[in-house]
Structures are given as structure tokens and as C-alpha cells.
Amino acid sequence: MANDDISLTVEPGEIHALLGENGAGKSTLMNVLYGLLQPDEGEILVDDKPVQIRGPRDAIAAGIGMVHQHFMLVPVFTVAENVMLGAEQTSGGPIGFLDRRRARKLVREVSDRYRLAVDPDRTVEDLAVGVQQRVEIVKALTREVDLLILDEPTAVLTPQETEDLLEIMRTLKAAGKSIVFITHKLKEVQAIADRITVIRRGRTVGTAPPDTSEEELASLMVGRSVLLRVDKGAAEPGAPVLEVAGLAVNDDRGHRAVDGVDLTVRAGEVLGIAGVQGNGQTELIEAIMGLRPLVAGDATLGGRPMQGLSTREILRAGVGYVPEDRSVDGLVKDFTVAENLVLDIYNTEPYGTRWVVRPEAIADSARARIEQFDVRTDAAGQAAVGTLSGGNQQKVIVAREFSRPLKLFIAAQPTRGVDVGSIEFIHRQIVHERGEGTAVLLVSSELDEVLALADRVAVMYRGRVIAEVSPDTPREEIGLLMAGVTTDGTAKDGTHDD
Amino acid sequence: MTEQTTATAEDLAAAGADQLPPPKTFAGRYLATLWTANTFTVTVLAVLLALVIGGILIAISDEAVRATFSYFFSRPSDFFSLSWDKVSDAYAQLFKGSIVDPAAVQAAVNGTGPWERVFFPISETLTYAAPLALTGLAFAVAFRGGLFNIGVQGQAIMGAVGAAIAGFLLPLPVGIHLVVALVFGAAFGGMYGFVPGFLKARTGAHEVITTIMLNYVALFFLGWLIVQKGIQDPARSDAISKPVDDSAQLTHLLGFLGPSLRVNLGIVVAILVVAAIAWMLRRSTFGFELRAVGLNPEASRTAGIGVGSTYVLVMTVAGALAGLGGATIVMGTAVSLTGAVIGSVGFDGLLVGLLGRAKPWGVLFAALLFGALQAGGNRMQSFSGISLELVGVIQALIVIFVAAPALVKTVFRLRPAKVSGLGTGMSKGW
Amino acid sequence: MTASTVEAAQAVVEPVRYWTRQRKVGVGLAAVGIVAALLFGALATGRKAEFTLAETISGSAVGINGTVGAIVFGAIAALAGAAMLVTARRWFGWLLGLGIVAALISFLCWQLSQAPDNLNTIPLGSVARSSVTLALPLILGALAGVLCERSAVINVAIEGQFLMGAFAAAMFATLAGSVWVGILAAGVGGLIIGLLLAVLAIRFLVDQVVLGVVLNVFALGLTGFLYEQLMAKDQSKYNQPTFVPEWDIPGLSKIPLIGPALFKGNIFLYGAIVLVILIHVGLFYTRWGLRTRAVGEHPAAADTLGVKVLALRYRNVLVGGLVAGFGGAYFTLLSTTNFNKNMTSGLGFVALAALIFGRWSPIGATLAALFFGFCSALAFSLGSINSPIPSQFLNMLPYIATIVAVAGLVGRVRAPAADGTPYIKG
């Protein structure tokens, strides 16, 4: 059960924040409000009158609009087409010829009225994420909704874009619209909300005014106060292990994602890469791992060029890799835990040879790993890995990567969607590996995680490392860097002369 | 852009909640288990359902039965008794033609009939099952590797061509000739399977599209080949090749009982290959790679497995299996190449592979079932006057029901259970 | 402290690749042209190759010395290919078209010049007409595919829909003594397979490629069974329909070349033209089309805007069944006048190929179907001039062309993003 006995009241012209951890049931609640899911019990009242919301059409009719976390835009359509879909301006009666001119006019009107700066003729797939989000808002506003639900709207935005969004929300509020603002970010809530409802494990745990302190909100949200702190000594950096120079990489659509990155990671240190998701971190890592072709530049591992090496050769040269999306890139979900633990070495002794694999040897090694890494599953690891919890799945990947002698360990979002206990365990493992003299490259969109683990922090913005700072740098300064704002004088290498 | 199928753990728990509490007694539990939608139950019910629909077709397509329609409401018993006679006779012939004819056993025991007639049905079933098992495997192996091989037909055609050419062009001694011809069949099929695998690995061309196209290319190639000098039978004016030499024909296993028992070494080859593929999937390095790539190509790539080269190898192996299937036909029963030498054994292989849920031994059983339907269908056609085409309808229906377990579940109101499906992530889009 | 925002100008400039796809194609075309000029030129005899616009080989014709023609037109193709190296992207389509046509004429010059004396004429009018006629079922089948796949249901069962349509048309046209009843019944025949496809794919989530393959076997078995049980026993009662009438459009049908091809037609020709226009306009200029494309690209987006995703899919798949069934009637009411087992012999798959080759667009699919029809028509024509080129190789052309297209050698083909993915709410 994702929602259990939740009550929520939103007043007209109010910005109501819905605060809760990942998986607390916020999105489920909103999907019920928008008619995408049906409640088993309870009712929805609009203007004090009960309404039946059987689908999005009913929700829109009741004056409820929603901006989904994953945008609901057809990439190959223009902005105007996306906005008109479902409520098309037509001529020709029952045939329904599209009246694109009227649709464009409407988009311009709404865009101007609320200062959204959206061009109706652009194709959506060519727009930046922040603009796509504004298209979603236009879509809702053209349907004349009174209540707008924004589901984790800032997750994909830079601090600057977030500021713009908050400004838009204030404009909407001034125009009399109500807004439900779903988030797990405390600062944004304090900045804009009129009232805050906190959800934990599918239940409302309290409603608070916006001046509630951060600590209080946090403990309401997670139940107990958790401070992300990792015990670690000072780093003793050795020789450079990974050196990246002038690296340029394209994304899947052929657009430049990494645009001239220089990095050095030394033995025995953690280099953290901070940045809002989608600024080239994923492509950078994939290029280093040989999973994505380089456009320009080169990378060397212990002085040896990596270009032209296959992923297998890179792994076998002593690189461990935790990919950011474990269910897509990290694990074969229908394989057993034991099989997943040898996914990279199944054809080497003692697990197998060029021709055969030895299930017995694989199971034996699985037993040891499962115990060592505290994976909660059957002892021999014969269960399909997809049946394990997220934290245990992640431990399987970490166990696999740490079972080879490593020179370099690359971890992308190593604790995303993982329970607190597993987070601590994985962090300890990473620090331990650093102590063994391994070079660690950590990518995380959780700034706290980067600051807790890294010895040096590189900030990525639009495909470039725009600054390299110490983890003691004030959060605000790093936040500005993540938004692409450099402060003259303190910016180190990475800014190009153009 | 496919985030539509994100079921949460909560959803799954909720789905499990409608299960009834388990019955107390052992027998009750046993029956309850049997009546859940498990793989076995669904398969049996699928066959049953298909036979029922087949029976309806038999009844309504019969002239005499249709005559009772005109007075159905005054005397419905005529309709039902006549339909029953017709359908039960047809299915009795189906059984006698595929497994055993009790009358023939009686006669043989009494000494009034030959043992040949007792073994004839089973011999026919095994004869049809052998190439089906091989083409079924050709589909199944690719399927396990994440590829949808609709090109089994074309690969089997090329295999038949390869085996036939080796069979009548190469002057080789007994024994060796047989092996060489089989190897040629596998090699021709393998090369033909290599093409879509290579295109997929290098250019991302979807194998469903390329293999469909290659089927027809193979068919036209065969049509051209069999009228060429040196290939065409010089004694014939129609499109038929020379016959395969005796030394390259698969030995009849029960030939000593009578010449009509066609069952040949093909079935032995098929069983050996099934065992080999079962071993390959479980214990070989290539099998590990194949299964990993089939279940999650991205994770396999990230773990350093060469996804492209695995695809190429998978399709080559699948093609070789299909080629063997074609070879056993031309070396076992057909002897000469004609335009329709392999019939539809490639397309039927898809159904066999699906029915066997892409597992080697499952494929063998599915091939035996389809072989039996084919063999029995022949007898049904000659004894009951029911067209053999009905078998195709029944086979297609079985696979539809197996592929749609939800449908069978709805029809029979089965309790939910884990049913081994046909594997997801397949052929999602082009 | 002054703050500055990092600009987004690219720092690393990708080395400009000279060998773009267009240039590679250009080299290929130039090579084909050179081979044509040399090979066909060498093989051709000095006798005349004649081309006439009429439907028969009599009448006025344009003649050219075979060797000269083969060399000249081969050279033109080579020049078109060379021009692509210079112009790169511009005029790509026109140059490619010119090159292919020139290479083809070069080939025909060789073929005609070696034909027996009174056969060295190719009646282009007849080739055009039979190209269009042979393309008709492909167009209709591909349109059925467009309707299904634009709303994200893969339709591999076009072959089965053809068979059911062909069977129903023959049977009911004979029983009722009217081809119009037959055409209606054909639609229903296709609709039955469409209904099975829709329910099993949309409601029961069966893998759509598996489903299409199995439905083809089902339709093949069912029509074969009913043929044996009914038609084979009494042909005159069940299986003797008449041809559909020919409707000439006065005046227009007299235009050389395109007159006989486009204006001496029948219900199938005019029906196909109307349907192509209807579906093209519908898909890109109406509410229905916008919603259909949205459902094919991103059904969740359409759903959140109140579009009934599943209902729209059902409707489109069913209409697709009707169209393919109508295409099936072609086989028993126009190309022959009786039903036979497996008489569509894989043309449903060619229609599928046309759909893909035409990149899921009605106009593109039609052009692809016409190209495939032309390949078959050419195979016939060459057969009638005793060509040494085996007809089987010409018949392979559509299939090989499709493989080349999906392998990306002639530009990437992109299916609707959600094609083949069932939609599950939530």
C-alpha cells in the first residue's frame, strides 16, 4: 500500500508543499488526484463538493492540472501540438481539421501572460529541460486549471532555473492559482511554501508553517535525524592513475555532452564530480569506460592510453565501475545473485574458461561475497537478483566490482534509491578502498554525498569542469558553480578562453 | 519514452492479496496448485481449448451437420449427435494416426496383420518431429539471446540447399558423406543466419525485418537454383533437383520392419542436438553470454561482454540449427530439392519454439506434439475427409493461448500463479 | 567579486567529416554508373533498343543504338554520383533519382539490344500500368500497417488479413453473385484478424510480433481448411466470383503513360488513391491524426491529457483490418477470379516491407509499394524479351532494398517510438 489514510487540504491561491523522502508516497497521492490511479477508499472534494475523478479528463474538468516528474511531452511534436493535444483547436466540424494558428496564438498568449517565454513552433525534443518544464506549465494553464500539481519539478533544474521556476510559481499564485509543490528539498519549501504537509511511508505525519526549522522538517520527513557523515582520515594521494585531457563526447542524439574535460585522479584519493544531473557526467563516465565513442581528447590509465580498448579490457586492467542506473546497466535482473557476481569474470579461472562455466565454483564464490558484503539473500545466491531490495542489489554490484584488484574505482550515483543502512555500508567500502591506494572517481547529483566522500570536488556544468574546489568550500558557492556562475579569481582550470 | 510499465512493489503486493487462503488437506492443496495458472496447466488447457475450437470448425464445415441447422430449434438433438459423431471420429483418427491404432495392435498380436502397421503412426510422428525440433531450437536459441528469429524458414531452405548439394555433388564414401552433408546444411544455414546477426550488430537493423526479407530472398534463390544445369534432375522437365546420393541419406531406423516406416536418423540427430544445446545454455561460456545478453544487453555491455559479437554468434548458431533442420528433410524424406522442399517447417519452428517456451527440452516436447498433430492430421484427412489444414489452425490456436496466459486464465478462472512467460523485453518495437 | 556565467559555446570542435552519408552514396552511385557504362556497354549489341509509351510494342517508338545507350546512360549515372561529391547535401534526392533512372535505362538498353528482332521494344505504358496494378495490394496492406503502427500496434499479420479478405471476397461474391458483397465481406474478413490482433495485443498484452506470426498461420490454416471443406468440393457454388468492372475516366485515360496507369482503373485503384489521401490528410492535419501519432510516440502523455489511448488503438487496428481485408479482395476479384490456398504467397510481408521502406508514412509507403510493383513488372517484361537475367533475382529486389533501407545505408528509418509496446496505466 503506497498511501494509507492521507488527508490534504489546499486553499485557493496557496502554495502547498508536499514534503517527503523518495518513495514516501507523494507521487502516488498526486496520481490519485489526477485520476491516473483510483483510490480504494476516501474521497476528493473540489470547492467543498465531492468529485469523481476516473481519469485525467475528469481531473482537468475539475480544474486540476499536473506537471509530471517525467515530462509528458511528445518529443517529435512542436510545442503548440503538445499543448493542443487532447483539447485541439479545430475547424471543419466532426472531421476536426487542426487549427494550428489558433493553437499557436493561445500558447503565445499564456506564455506572455505568465512570462514563460515559450516558442510555440519549436520541436520539443530540441528544447532544454527547463523550457520543456515551462511547456508543461503552459499545457496546464491553457486548460484553465485552478490547482496545479508540480511533481518534483526542481529535480532536473540548475539552481538558477530553480529560481526562475519559483518566480513563476509566485506569478501564478498572484493570479489566484493554487499550487501543490512536491519535493524533498527543504530549502525550496522554506523559500516558497505557504503551508507544508509532510508525508512518511504513505501517511501524513503533520502540517507545518513555512517558518519551521530545517532540522524539524527533516526529522518529520525521515523519522529520525540522519546526518551524512563519513569517518575518514586525510588522503595520501599518490601517482596519477586516471588522466583525462580535452575529452569531448556526444550524447545519444549526437549533441555535444562532454566538451573538453581535463581531470586527474590520483591513487588513494577520491575525486568527486558535483553538478546537476544532465550536465555531461553520465557521458563522461561512459566514455572513460569505453561504452561511448570519444569525439576528441584522450584518457590514460596509469600512463597507458585507454582509447581503442574494449570495456572488458578496461575492466580487466583494474577498473571497477558502478553504473548510475543499476537495473538497466548494472544487473541482469533475471540472473541469480551468484551469476551477477561474476558477470564480468565468468570466463576466467576459477569460474570458467574460454569454453565452459563452472556453476559450482560460481556458487562457492557467491557464498563468500554474500557474507562479506552483507547481502540479504539466500546463502548460495541462487535467487534472482531482481527479487532483492534496491540496497541489496546495489551491494551485489559493489561486491562484484570490489572482488578484483583495482587501480581505479568509478562510482556513479552509488547510493541512489538505497536505504540508509546500505548507504553507510557502501560509503565505508569506498573509503576503505581509497585507503588501499585505489583512485576513486565519484559522480553524484547529491551534493552532500560528494562533500562527505570527496578529497577534491570538480564541478561540471554543460559538459565542462568549470571549477575544482576543496570539499570545505561553502555549499552556496558550489551551488552557484553548479548553475554555471563562476566567481572571478577563485575559478581554477576548466574555464576556457573563448 | 517508455516509462509506462513501472509497477511498484506495492502494486505487486496488492495483486497477491486477491489470492485465496490455501486449502488445508494435501489433496486439496494439490488440486489447488494444479488449478493455478502454472506453466503446465496453461499448456494443457491451451491444447484442450484449441481442440475444442477445432471441433467446432469440423462440425460447422460439414455438409450434413449444416443441414440440421434448418430445423435446429425443432430437433436440436440431431445437430448435437451428428456433430459429436463427426468430431469424435475425426479426433479418433488423429490419435490413431499419430500414436497407435488399437486395431493394428490387435491384428499384429493375432498374427493377422504386420507389426509395420503398429509402428507406422509413431514412426510418422517422429519423422515430422525431427526437423521441427531443430527449427524450433533455431528460434528458441535466438529468442534466449534476445533476438526474434523469423528467418528460420530461409535458414532452413539454405540448409536444405547445402545438404543437397553436398549430397549429390560430392562423391564421398558411406558414413563420411552423411556427416559432410549434415555439416554443409548447418554451414549454409549458419552463414545465412550470420547476415541478420551481423547487420544487427553493425547497423542496428532490426532482425525481425531483415529475417522476414531474407526468407523470401532464400525462396527465390532456391527457385532459381533448381532449374540450373548440374542441379536440375536431367531426367525431369519440372523444377526439381537431382536426388541426394544413397550414401548421404539418413538411415531408416525401423526399415527392417517395413519400407513404410520412414523414421530415420534425423530424430536421433535432433535429440542429440537438443541435449547439446541444453548443455550449451547452462554450462558453456557462450551460453552464459547468450543468456546475459538476451536478458539485459545494457548490463552485459557494461560488464564487458561483447553484445554485438554475441548477437552475430547467436544468429549464426540459430541459422546452423535451422540449416540442420532443412538438411534432415532433404536427406531423410524429400531426397530432392523442389520449390517447396521444406514446406513450412521453418515457420512451424517458430510455433514450436514458442510452445516449448524457448527451452531445449520444452522445444523437443512441442516438436513431438506438432509432429503428432501432423501425422494424425494425414490420417484424419484420408479417413474422415477433414482437411489437413485444420492442423495448422489448431497449432496456431495452441500457441495463441500459450502466448496469452491471461486469456486462458480468464476462460478457466484459474488462480494466479507465476507462469513462465515467453520472456519480456523482446521485440519491443522495431 | 564579479560573477560571470559560463557560455555554452562549444570548446571542442569536432573535426569535420568529409565522408558524409550523401558522399558515400555518391561514390556508390558513381561506381554503379561506371560499371553500367563499361559492362552493359560491352555486353550490348549495336542493335536498336526501342522504348514506346504505349501499352503495346506497336506504334511509334524512341530507338537508340544499344551500345551507345548503355554507355551514355551509364555515364549519366556516374556523373550524377560524382555530382553528389560536390553538392553534398543539396539536391541529394534529385541526383539519386536521376542516377538510378539512368542506370536503369542503361541496363534496359543492353537487355533490349540483345533481344530477338521483333521483341526489342519495351512498352513503357504497359510497364507503368502493371507496376501500379501490382502495387495495389501492397499499398492497401501498407496503409493498414500505417494505421496500426502509428498508434503503436505492430502489424505483422497483414498477410493473414489479405488471405481472409481474399477468401471472404471469393466466397461471398460467388454466393451473392455480386462483387460488391464480396468486397464488403473481404473487409469483414480482414476485420476478424484485426479484432484478434487488437484484443490479444491490447487487452492480453501478447507480444505483437509473436501474435502477428501466429495469426498468419491461423489465417493460412483457416482459409485453407475452409477451401478444402467447401470450395474444393463445389467450386461453382462457392468459388467463382467475377472480375470487378473497369472504370475508365474519360479523357484522362487517353494520356500516354499515366493514363493507362492511373485512369483506366477499378475500385481497387481509385479506392487506394482515395485512402492514401484520406489517411495522409487525416494523420497530419486532423485531431484524430494528432492523437494517433501521440499515442504511437508517447501514450502516457496522451493519456494524461484525456486521450483514450486503448480505445484509439482498438479503433485504428480495426480500421486497419478493414483496409487490409479490402486489399485481400484484390487477389480474388482483380488479379484472378478464384481463391486458392496461400494465394497471397507472402505479399503481406512485402506490404510490411513497403511500410518500413516508406518510413511509416502513407505517401512513403505508397512510393515504396510502387517501386516494388515496378520490380515485379520489370521482371515480367524482361521475361517476355528472353532476358538472360533470371526473374527470381528481380523478384528479390524489393526484399533486398528493404534490408538495405533498415541497415541505414539509405538513411535511418525510425519507427514510432512506442511501436510494439503495450500501454499499461499507472
For chain B, how long is the longest CA-to-CA vector?
75
Q: Regarding predicted confidence, which is higher, A255 or B241?
A: B241
A318-346 residue pLDDT tens: 999 999 988 889 999 999 999 999 999 99
Are A498 and C7 inside 8 Å of each other by CB? yes
Cβ–Cβ under 8 Å, residues B83 and B65: yes
What's the length of chain C? 426
Are B404 and C204 inside 8 Å of each other by CB? yes
- Other CB atoms within a 10 A radius of the CB of residue C177 amount to 12
For residues A311 and B73, what is the distance between their CA atoms, to the nearest angstrom? 75
Q: What are phi and psi of C277, to 5 degrees?
A: -65, -45
Instruction: Using an 8 Å CB-CB cutoff, list chain A residues near C1.
Output: 487-489
Burial A7-42 (b: 16+ CB within 10 A, else e): eeebeeebbbbbbbbebbbbbbbbbbbbbbbeeeee
Residue A6 has pLDDT above 90, yes or no: no
Instruction: Using an 8 Å CB-CB cutoff, list chain C residues near B203.
Output: 407-409
Residue C276 has pLDDT above 90, yes or no: yes
pLDDT at C55: 74
Residue A187 has pLDDT above 70, yes or no: yes
B87, B150, B198, B389: which to substitute to probe chain C, counting the most C Cβ within 10 Å? B389
Instruction: Using an 8 Å CB-CB cutoff, list chain B residues near C425.
Output: 4
Instruction: Using an 8 Å CB-CB cutoff, list chain C residues near A95.
Output: 286
Q: What angle do CA C357, C359, C364 make, to 5 degrees?
A: 80
Cβ–Cβ under 8 Å, residues B332 and B246: no
C207, C357, C402: which to substitute to probe chain B, counting the most B Cβ within 10 Å? C207
Torsion of the alpha carbons at A255, A257, A262 and A265, rounded to the nearest 10: -140
Residue C282 has pLDDT above 90, yes or no: yes
What mean pLDDT comes out for the span C29-53?
86
Residue A242 has pLDDT above 90, yes or no: yes
Cis peptide bond upstream of A350, omega within 30: yes
Closest CA to C314 of C197, C183, C407, C177: C197
For residues A308 and A298, what is the distance between their CA atoms, to the nearest angstrom? 10
Q: Which range among A110-119, A350-359, B421-430, C121-130 shows the weakest confidence by mean pLDDT? A: B421-430
What mean pLDDT comes out for the span C171-185?
95
For residues C318 and C336, what is the distance between their CA atoms, to the nearest angstrom? 27
pLDDT at C16: 64
For residues C234 and C69, what is the distance between their CA atoms, to the nearest angstrom? 55
B86-110 residue pLDDT tens: 999 999 999 999 999 999 999 999 9
Instruction: Using an 8 Å CB-CB cutoff, list chain A residues near B308.
Output: none
A357, A385, A410: which to substitute to probe chain B, counting the most B Cβ within 10 Å? A357
Cβ–Cβ under 8 Å, residues A242 and A288: yes
Distance of CA A113 to the CA centre of its chain: 32
Residue B9 has pLDDT above 50, yes or no: no
Residue C2 has pLDDT above 60, yes or no: no
pLDDT at A101: 93
What mean pLDDT comes out for the span C199-208?
91
Give every CB contact of residue A112 below 8 A, 6+ residues apart in sequence. Answer: none
B1 at interface of A, judged by CB pairs closer than 8 A: yes
Are B296 and A332 inside 8 Å of each other by CB? yes
Q: Regarding predicted confidence, which is higher, B18 or B192?
A: B192
Are C291 and A86 inside 8 Å of each other by CB? yes
Q: How confident is the model at residue C85 (pLDDT cuts 50, 70, 90)?
A: confident
What mean pLDDT comes out for the span C7-22?
63
Q: Regarding predicted confidence, which is higher, C137 or A421?
A: C137
Give the gap in angstroms from C-alpha C288 to the nearest C-alpha of chain A. 8
* A311, A334, A355 member nearest B302 (Cβ): A311
Give the gap in angstroms from C-alpha A321 to the nearest C-alpha of chain B. 9
Instruction: Using an 8 Å CB-CB cutoff, list chain B residues near C216.
Output: 347
pLDDT at B98: 95
B partners (3+ CB pairs within 8 A) are: A, C
Which helix (H) or strand (E) is A409 found in, with range? strand A408-412
Q: For chain B, what is the mean pLDDT?
A: 88
Q: For chain A, what is the mean pLDDT?
A: 86
A357 at interface of B, judged by CB pairs closer than 8 A: yes
Q: Which residue of chain A comes nearest to C6, CA vs CA? A: A484
The C residues from 157 to 216 touching B (CB cutoff 8 Å) are: 196, 200, 204-211, 213-216
pLDDT at A32: 83
Give the gap in angstroms from C-alpha B17 to the nearest C-alpha of chain A. 11
For residues B176 and B185, what is the distance between their CA atoms, to the nearest angstrom? 14
pLDDT at B40: 84
Residue B12 has pLDDT above 50, yes or no: no
For residues B12 and C113, what is the distance between their CA atoms, to the nearest angstrom? 73
For residues C266 and C248, what is the distance between their CA atoms, to the nearest angstrom? 8
DSSP per-residue letters across C103-154: HHHHHHHHHHHTS-GGG-EEEHHHHHHHHHHHHHHHHHHHHHHHHHHHTT--
The C residues from 230 to 289 touching A (CB cutoff 8 Å) are: 285-289
Q: What angle do CA B203, B208, B213 make, to 5 degrees?
A: 90
For residues C328 and C322, what is the distance between their CA atoms, to the nearest angstrom? 10
The B residues from 282 to 341 touching C (CB cutoff 8 Å) are: none
Q: How confident is the model at residue A34 (pLDDT cuts 50, 70, 90)?
A: confident
pLDDT at B36: 65
**Please, which residues bridge with residue A258 across strands?**
A249
pLDDT at C57: 66
Q: The complex's ipTM?
A: 0.86
Give the gap in angstroms from C-alpha B393 to the nearest C-alpha of chain C. 5
- DSSP, collapsed to helix, strand or coil, labels residue A312 as helix
Q: How confident is the model at residue A223 (pLDDT cuts 50, 70, 90)?
A: low
Residue C196 has pLDDT above 90, yes or no: yes
A332 at interface of B, judged by CB pairs closer than 8 A: yes
Residue B288 has pLDDT above 90, yes or no: yes
Q: How confident is the model at residue C115 (pLDDT cuts 50, 70, 90)?
A: confident
pLDDT at B339: 92
B113-147 residue pLDDT tens: 899 999 999 999 999 999 999 999 999 999 999 99
Are C301 and A297 inside 8 Å of each other by CB? no
Q: Residue ranges of the alpha helices (H) in A272-415? A: 281-288, 311-316, 337-341, 359-372, 390-401
For chains B and C, what is the number of CB pairs under 8 angstroms? 181
Closest CA to B147 of B325, B288, B365, B295: B295
Q: What are phi and psi of B342, to 5 degrees?
A: -100, 5
Give every CB contact of residue A302 below 8 A, 6+ residues apart in sequence. Answer: A239, A241, A317, A407
For residues A364 and A358, what is the distance between their CA atoms, to the nearest angstrom? 10
For residues A294 and A291, what is the distance between their CA atoms, to the nearest angstrom? 10
Cβ–Cβ under 8 Å, residues A66 and A30: yes
A partners (3+ CB pairs within 8 A) are: B, C
What mean pLDDT comes out for the span C199-207?
91
Q: Regarding predicted confidence, which is higher, A22 or C118?
A: C118
